[in-house]
Amino acid sequence: MKKLRIPLLFLIVIAVMLIFFTDRNNFRYRYQVGSPWNYESLTATFDFPVLKSDEQLAAEREQKSAQKLDCYRYDENVLSQVLGAFAAFEPDSLQQAVKASLTHIYSNGVVSSLNSDAQMISVKRGKSIESRPASNVFTTADACDRFLADMRAVAADVNVDSLVARNNLSEAIVPNMYYDAQTTATLERQALDYISPTSGMVYSGQKIISRGEIVTSETARILDSYKAEYISAYGGNTQADWLINLSHLLLVILLLAIYTLAIFTADRSLLSSFRLTAFLLLLYTLVYVAVAVFPAANESILYLMPFALYILYVQEFFPNRICLGLYLAALLPLIALRDNGVELYLMNALAGAVLLQSYKFFNRGFRQFANSAFIFLALMFVYTVFRILSGTPFDQKVVIFLALNSILSILGYPFIYLFERIFSLVSQMRLWELSDTNNPLLLELSRKAPGSFQHSLGVANLAEAACRVVGGNTRLVRVGALYHDIGKIANPLCFTENQAAGDNYHKNLTPEQSAQDIIRHVQDGLALAQKHHLPEPVTDMIASHHGTTKTMYFYTKYCNEGGDPANVEPFTYKGKLPESKEAVVLMFADSVEAASRSLGDYSRESIAALVSRIIDGKIADGQIAKGDITLGEIDSIKQVFTDQLQQVYHGRVAYPKALKKEKK
């Protein structure tokens, strides 16, 4: 099952990338208002309507709302009721004129009052609705005045006013139209729904935009319309949908394959560790999701994304030499998924490269914010270059985003401790803390086993110098060297370097007992490492610094006293074989430093012979069978050890004694 964990991890990452894949169509053109059209000239391949912008539609809706027509329901029965009321009107000779006047008035409509000052109104008669000028409609007061005027015109010799007053006929003129609020609201909704979403047509063969032309808001609207029509036509094709999904899958696999190849090229051993692979894939997934998801709300938000944090996180756990290659591969989704991906890629690539170098010098305390300034300058340099190339002005919002980007690239540093805990990694900052000789555990070692402490310092110097030459983690190997013998705290006098002159801890012990006491310091060291929560790489070096070698002094003594040479188990360390380059270097340095103290001749030839004998012995004994190291690197290590030891044990000038002058 463990063998399937890493492949399963890659499948999960692919699934996540597909879920967050935002480009759900096959429209291959990417454009932005204010930027040049970087493709060949585009000509329409079919007729399509030009969609109105959201602003245009909003303006039309507002205009329609302002032009709404109040609707009045027309009552057909009111006219006959009013004519009946006027049937007794005298003299009989006016009956024809009365009927004609009232018919005209009520055909136009009578209302108690108009609901608004609108120029036009709607009148609902049965199932039909018609529009008419509001000025043609009579209020009840206007209707009475019009009726009186009509009567006066046809009966000049009759006192019409007295007749109307005597018969109280003015009360008979009542409204035949009533305001209909429900129908008014319905008509308003229908008017808004009937707003056309298009404004014109582009016909097949018509040029939309030329190469190098700046994309204006109007051109972008035409391109949006072309894109919408294209996707609509293409999306109905089941085979096309299948091909689009397949292309998404292949693109995701390609991007992840390039990133994986970058890891393999940098250090193939990383892909054999589930923890390290999971950490690197998590960082890549975070970059991908940031690129794919956040711009959905605002494309310019990508200028705010602190992608340089990737460099900060990786260099805390891995050698600097592999950081930039992994970072450049992790940024590829910018080019694959975003319209202005080349600009964003180059901006963040330069910012990451600058951070990788500047952090070597500004990595403590408040000085870290100097890195923000360098990142901002790198981002602005590339942004300025692209503004000049495109002939577009600086966007103040983007400049602010870049400034915030540079600050976030440093403020994200505390997450290192979270990653360290989740993935059981050891950061460079943690190694700095552990390499401080004022660390309580090292102080205890120096107090209880001062000889072992001095030995550890010598091993640390040798191992660090060697790792610097062969490309290992110098800080990690130094920490491993300082702590590799902490188990000797439990029984310091068991070891020669801690014994006073004339003392011999092993005087009354058998070779087997002595060997077991010596061997026990590895297990005691592991117990102390667990108690003090030392990182796993350091614990591994404690467990592997003797590998499965034998305590040769006591084994030889045992054999010389008549013991069975085949009985090697009591004299053999139960440790693990070193695997990392740092662990191999530590094993060599530990044995070489200890053996060098017994040399009588410190000439270069003597030291070189000692170094070669010990290292070749470890190789012959199979102790580095699992080690990540080459024969060429081993030769370099021998050279470094010889140089270092020669400097430590260099000859000193003998000071001459002052001659006593004879008294005269």
Residue type, 385: V
Residue type, 303: Y
Kindly report which listed range (36-45, 65-74, 649-658) carries the lowest average pLDDT score.
649-658
Over residues 322-347, the mean pLDDT reads 90
pLDDT at site 88: 66
10 Å CB burial of residue 49 (0-12, 13-18, 19+) is middle
From its phi and psi, is residue 289 left (phi > 0), alpha (psi between -120 and 50) or beta?
A: alpha
Kindly report which listed range (94-98, 153-157, 317-321, 544-548) carries the lowest average pLDDT score.
153-157
pLDDT at site 113: 86
CA quadruple 180, 183, 189, 193: dihedral sign: negative
| Whether the predicted pLDDT of 313 surpasses 80 | yes
pLDDT at site 660: 63
pLDDT at site 241: 62
Q: Which has more confidence, 631 or 173?
A: 631
| Whether the predicted pLDDT of 180 surpasses 90 | no
Q: How confident is the model at residue 66 (pLDDT cuts 50, 70, 90)?
A: low
Calculate what percentage of the chain has a pLDDT beyond 70.
88
Over residues 232-257, the mean pLDDT reads 74
Over residues 436-452, the mean pLDDT reads 92
Asked if residues 341 and 287 have their Cβ atoms less than 8 Å apart, the reply is no
10 Å CB burial of residue 650 (0-12, 13-18, 19+) is exposed
Among candidate residues 545, 520, 542, 517, the one with its CA nearest the CA of residue 532: 542
| Whether the predicted pLDDT of 235 surpasses 60 | no
pLDDT at site 184: 82
| Whether the predicted pLDDT of 531 surpasses 50 | yes
Q: Could you give all domains of the chain from N- to C-terminal order, each with its CATH number?
A: 2-22+241-421 (no CATH), 63-193 (no CATH), 428-648 (1.10.3210)
**Mean of all residue pLDDT scores within the chain:** 85
Residues 6+ away with beta carbon under 8 Å from 305: 290, 291, 294, 405
Q: Which has more confidence, 535 or 196?
A: 535
Q: Is 111 helix (H, G, I), strand (E, B) or coil?
A: strand
| Whether the predicted pLDDT of 59 surpasses 80 | no
Kindly report which listed range (105-109, 225-229, 516-520) carries the lowest average pLDDT score.
225-229
Kindly report which listed range (105-114, 150-159, 529-538, 549-558) carries the lowest average pLDDT score.
150-159
For 125-147, the pLDDT digits (tens) are 888 888 888 888 998 888 888 88
For 549-595, the pLDDT digits (tens) are 999 999 999 999 888 999 999 999 999 999 989 999 999 999 999 98
Over residues 370-375, the mean pLDDT reads 90
pLDDT at site 188: 76
Over residues 450-465, the mean pLDDT reads 94
d(CA 256, CA 284): 9
pLDDT at site 426: 84
Q: How far is CA 332 from the centre of its chain?
A: 13
| Whether the predicted pLDDT of 645 surpasses 50 | yes
Over residues 150-176, the mean pLDDT reads 74
Over residues 359-366, the mean pLDDT reads 74
pLDDT at site 24: 46
pLDDT at site 35: 77
Kindly report which listed range (156-165, 394-403, 438-447) carries the lowest average pLDDT score.
156-165
CB atoms within 10 A of CB 54: 8
pLDDT at site 544: 94
| Whether the predicted pLDDT of 501 surpasses 80 | no
| Whether the predicted pLDDT of 5 surpasses 50 | yes
| The pTM of the whole model exceeds 0.75 | no
Buried b (16+ CB within 10 A) or exposed e, 487-512: bbbbbbbbbbbbeeeeeebbeeeebb
d(CA 226, CA 407): 41
